[in-house]
Chain A
Amino acid sequence: GAGVSQSPSNKVTEKGKDVELRCDPISGHTALYWYRQSLGQGLEFLIYFQGNSAPDKSGLPSDRFSAERTGGSVSTLTIQRTQQEDSAVYLCASSQGGGTGELFFGEGSRLTVL
């Protein structure tokens, strides 16, 4: 595809359920990022994958959050036992890596926890 693809675009779930959000980065991009966008909090860094290096998980807010990147491409962000405060737009981005470069963002996955 031409850009970063995220799915689902919208997800409504009940408190306590698990959710998975998917990100398909731009082909050839070695770096992949997850951010959370919410009113008043701006863009909150969650996790960063760069090539085969260990991911930087320093932004994950709790152990209910996890992410993996399979084959250096597609990434899945998993939120277990969702809480209402998890409601936000989850943005994925990719870049060519190897240093600071332009991040290309997906359209985001809007999560609503009832």
Chain B
Amino acid sequence: AQRVTQPEKLLSVFKGAPVELKCNYSYSGSPELFWYVQYSRQRLQLLLRHISRESIKGFTADLNKGETSFHLKKPFAQEEDSAMYYCASDAGGTSYGKLTFGQGTILTVHP
């Protein structure tokens, strides 16, 4: 079964510092990878997906098939980035459309 691992449960940085939230997946094929975010008192929502190759709110994520990673990065963190972040994958095939989520990382950006 596919697995998504986020090794850091908690991550704290200061405003303006770079931030990287780690995500590794265990799947030998070509999964589709996503980052979802949940801000305080808000619903879980999509932040970005790797197929779009876009930057959302200054965040980017690159799929590294060799390292089976999909780390989320932002060069200058802002206080409003404080939230719970989940990495997710879709292995496709018979599981097409079913997302497997990691354990989540709580990011706190201090002023």
Contacts and interface: CB of A to CB of B under 8 A. Distances in A.
Interface stretch (A8-16, A35-43, A62-70, A73-81): A35-43
Interface of B: 6, 9, 32, 36, 43-46, 49, 86, 88, 90, 92, 95-104
A107 B43 contact: yes
Smallest CB-CB A-B distances: 5 pairs:
A42-B103, A43-B101, A105-B44, A100-B90, A102-B46
Interface residues of A, number: 27
Interface of A: 3, 31, 33, 35, 40-45, 48, 50, 56, 91, 93, 95, 97-107
B32 A106 contact: no
Contacts of B95: 56
Contacts of A107: 43
A100 B101 contact: no
22 contacts: A31-B97, A33-B99, A43-B86, A43-B88, A43-B101, A43-B102, A45-B101, A48-B97, A56-B95, A56-B98, A99-B96, A100-B32, A100-B90, A100-B96, A100-B97, A102-B46, A103-B36, A103-B46, A105-B43, A105-B44, A106-B43, A107-B43
